[in-house]
Amino acid sequence: MSEALLIKDKEIAVPGEIIAQGMGFVPNKGVFRDGDVLVASKLGMVSVEGKVVKLIPLSGKYIPKAEDKIICQMTDVLLTGWRVDTNSPYSAVLNLKDATNEFVARGADLTQYFALGDWIVCKVTNVTSQKLVDISTRGPGLHKLQGGRMVEVNAYKVPRIIGKDASMISLIKNATGCEIIVGQNGLVWLHGAPSQELIAAEAIKKIEAEAHLPGLTDRMVDFLKQKTGKTPTMNEQHQTTEGSES
Amino acid sequence: MAYAKRFDGRKFDELRPITAKVGIIPRADGSAMFQIGKTTAYAAVYGPRDLHPKFMQNPQTGILRCNYNMMPFSGHGERVRPGGSRRSKEINMVMEKALIPVLDLKDYPNSVVDVFVELPQTDAGTRCAGITAAAMALADAGLEMKDLVAAVAVGKVGDKVVSDLIYDEEAYEEEGGATDIPVAVLPRTGEITLLQLDGGISPSDLKKALELAQVKCREIYEIQKKALKQKFVVKA
């Protein structure tokens, strides 16, 4: 059988759809081989690099992964720590020794550190095969979140929201003057003037909706210019507040 | 008198008019609508998510849970009694079994994927419409799937092999009556994941009906595919 790419780069493939024919192509994430054809195993955008064919997922739940920086909410206080909601199918445990340097006496009231309903930025330290998740709030930029507002987006759109070298997020930060923290689990925390927070939230929702379309940065510059009345810049670098881009 | 013309004027191997739409329920992780004639199915997928009660959890893999519901005003005349019934319990089971072969939930131990199928209006073929909508909703939820699932009812009315029966045809009583065979097919490989039979049919007619089901499911698959891609088309 001759070699042919049936779905081109940047086009949408649905599960079970044949993307390419022939043994010359190599399947990667989201693609599997069946005989001499490559088949999509989820809904996503086809990405072809040389002979390697992969799918960029467009939807799906966040699954915790070690070293991810995520935003979580306290759901329960345990004997020596907290149970937190990670916006994924699996809750995580924040152990007391991963939360504070202080000495805490046995039986002390843990809610003086984190109360139920508190939001935190934390790092996933370990995930087991059965998806038991450990997190830590010790490290640069990891702390409790006070005030501000939360925006929920799809976890697979997070790399687009951050942008290459955090370009997209610093664009919004500079335009609105908000402090923004993006968790890999799809929660985005905004803090600034209320009117600016609303613009930032709208901008993030717009990126989520148009993440798979080209020319996004230009459209966002126009959008922010129209909303804030000034031309945003994107040269400034922020180091601590973004999660890593995958 | 033989069954010479279908009650709604269709050809014997013709489907009713179909509309399909993906992403209609914003709060769900994945959702779809599938309408075939007067039968409308809405499917919403939630998860993978935490599963309770805990004894239902499977540490080896995530599980799939289907919930089929005909709305009280949806039926043919009589009000449908709300809540689960023996019939809906069976359909939950066959829907799960029709969908699970394409899913791989090994990466989500102890969790559940919930599929809710609601039918606001029905005119036969509800489990097939439900499976077809659920397959689109599962794909929309970003789950790992090796194929979509398309389903249609085929069967026999009088002496004719037909596809996509309506309620009036299922109730046909002359010349041996009607036979209803809901079939779900994986369109790429042609594998069958749902096959039920209500009525009587000769082996040669059954073979003809199943061949027809394969062709019709592929037609439905093309509509599913188009609906899924339509979600990502730029709105002008």
Contact B143 A58 (CB under 8 A): no
Q: Is the pLDDT of residue A111 over 60?
A: yes
Arithmetic mean of pLDDT over chain B: 95
Disruptive mutation site among A42, A54, A56, A58 for chain B (greatest number of B CBs within 10 Å): A42
Task: Evaluate whether A4-57 and A69-145 have a shared fold.
Answer: yes
Residues of B in contact with A8 (CB under 8 A): none
Disruptive mutation site among B27, B63, B147, B193 for chain A (greatest number of A CBs within 10 Å): B147
Residues of A in contact with B49 (CB under 8 A): 61, 89
The DSSP element (H or E) to which A151 belongs, if any, is: strand A149-152
B233 min Cα distance to partner chain A (Å): 9
Which whole number is the average pLDDT over A58-65?
94
pLDDT in tens, A128-171: 999 999 999 999 999 999 999 999 999 999 999 999 999 999 99
Q: Is the pLDDT of residue B82 over 60?
A: yes
Contact A61 B140 (CB under 8 A): no
Q: Is the pLDDT of residue B91 over 80?
A: yes
The CB-based long-range contact list for B2-5 (8 Å cut-off, 24+ gap) reads B2/B158, B2/B159, B2/B175, B3/B157, B3/B158, B3/B159, B3/B160, B3/B172, B3/B174, B3/B175
Q: Is the pLDDT of residue B174 over 90?
A: no
Contact A57 B142 (CB under 8 A): yes
Which whole number is the average pLDDT over A90-110?
91
CATH number attached to the domain at A69-145? 2.40.50.140
pLDDT, position B77 = 78
Which whole number is the average pLDDT over A210-224?
90
CATH number attached to the domain at A4-57? 2.40.50.100
Residues of A in contact with B193 (CB under 8 A): none
Give residue A241's pLDDT band: very low, low, confident or very high (50, 70, 90). very low
- Domain locations along chain A: 4-57, 69-145, 149-228
Disruptive mutation site among B57, B108, B114, B217 for chain A (greatest number of A CBs within 10 Å): B108
pLDDT, position B120 = 97
Provide φ and ψ at B5, rounded to 5°.
-140, 140
Contact A42 B144 (CB under 8 A): yes
Contact A212 B143 (CB under 8 A): no
Architecture of domain A149-228: 2-Layer Sandwich (3.30)
Give residue B179's pLDDT band: very low, low, confident or very high (50, 70, 90). very high
A50 min Cα distance to partner chain B (Å): 24
What count of CB pairs under 8 Å joins A to B? Answer: 86
Q: Is the pLDDT of residue A212 over 80?
A: yes
Q: Is the pLDDT of residue A209 over 60?
A: yes
Q: Is the pLDDT of residue B28 over 90?
A: yes
Arithmetic mean of pLDDT over chain A: 91
Phi-psi region of B80 (alpha: psi -120 to 50; beta: other; left: phi over 0): beta
pLDDT, position A234 = 63
Residue A20 CB-density burial (10 A; 0-12 exposed, 13-18 middle, 19+ buried):
buried
Q: Measuring CA to CA, how many Å separate A142 from each of A62, A119, B174?
A: 20, 11, 75
Give residue A1's pLDDT band: very low, low, confident or very high (50, 70, 90). low
Q: What is the ipTM of this complex?
A: 0.90
**pLDDT above 90 as % of chain A:** 81
- CATH number 3.30.70.20 is the correct assignment for the domain at B18-225: no
Contact A41 B146 (CB under 8 A): yes
